[in-house]
């Protein structure tokens, strides 16, 4: 992968916001806000290369939008995330990381014990975020 202004800006974006879950459009808007004009196809290709290289994790939300987040630093299981059925916002569940990782490891071991192989865990909890569940609280 070539080191370009756009690739450096995308890497810096995810480094500055380690818990961010961003779509291609989110990344494109962020680059534009920094004065970096890059077309949509270039951003898609860049995100896909970073995903293929193990730098980013890719998930597709219920609205069929690909979203990217930083891959686990140790190459382990990524943190689960919450996805709102209303606004499709995704929030990484970062609290109680040790307990979450223990639960995910137990799930992986259970699946391996059943003979399943090449497991990739991508856990998303879906529901309505606080803002969508109670719009009056969101406006406050």
Q: Are residues 67 and 91 in the same domain?
A: no
Per residue in 65-76, pLDDT tens? 888 988 866 555
For residue 93, the enclosing domain spans 76-140
Q: Are residues 86 and 53 in the same domain?
A: no
Per residue in 7-19, pLDDT tens? 899 999 999 987 7
Q: What is the 3-state secondary structure (H, E, C) of the chain?
A: CCCCHHHHHHHHHHHHCCCCCEEHHHHHHHHHHCCCCCCHHHHHHHHHHHHHCCCEEEEECCCCCEEEEECCCCCCCCCCEEEECCCCCEEECCCCHHHHHHHHHHHHHHHHHCCCCCCCCCCEEEECCHHHHCHHHHHC
Domain boundary among 39, 71, 103: 71
pTM over 0.85: no
* Total of domains in the chain: 2
What is the domain-level CATH number for residue 67? 1.10.10.10
Q: Are residues 101 and 127 in the same domain?
A: yes
What is the domain-level CATH number for residue 123? 3.30.1490.190
Per residue in 17-60, pLDDT tens? 877 889 999 999 999 999 988 889 999 999 999 988 888 888 88
Per residue in 100-135, pLDDT tens? 778 888 888 999 999 998 877 777 788 888 888 887
């Amino acid at each position: 992968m070539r080191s370009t202004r756009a690739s450096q800006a995308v890497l810096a974006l995810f480094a500055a916001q380690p818990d961010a879950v961003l779509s291609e459009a989110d990344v494109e808007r962020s680059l534009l806000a920094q004065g970096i004009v890059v077309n949509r196809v270039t951003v898609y290709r860049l995100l896909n290369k970073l995903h293929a290289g193990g730098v980013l994790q890719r998930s597709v939300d219920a609205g069929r939008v690909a979203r990217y987040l930083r891959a686990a630093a140790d190459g382990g299981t990524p943190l689960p995330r919450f996805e709102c059925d209303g606004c499709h916002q995704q929030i990484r569940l970062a609290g109680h990381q040790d307990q979450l990782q223990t639960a995910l490891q137990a799930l992986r071991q259970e699946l391996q014990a059943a003979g399943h192989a090449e497991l990739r865990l991508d856990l998303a909890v879906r529901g309505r975020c606080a803002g969508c569940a109670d719009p009056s609280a969101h406006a406050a």
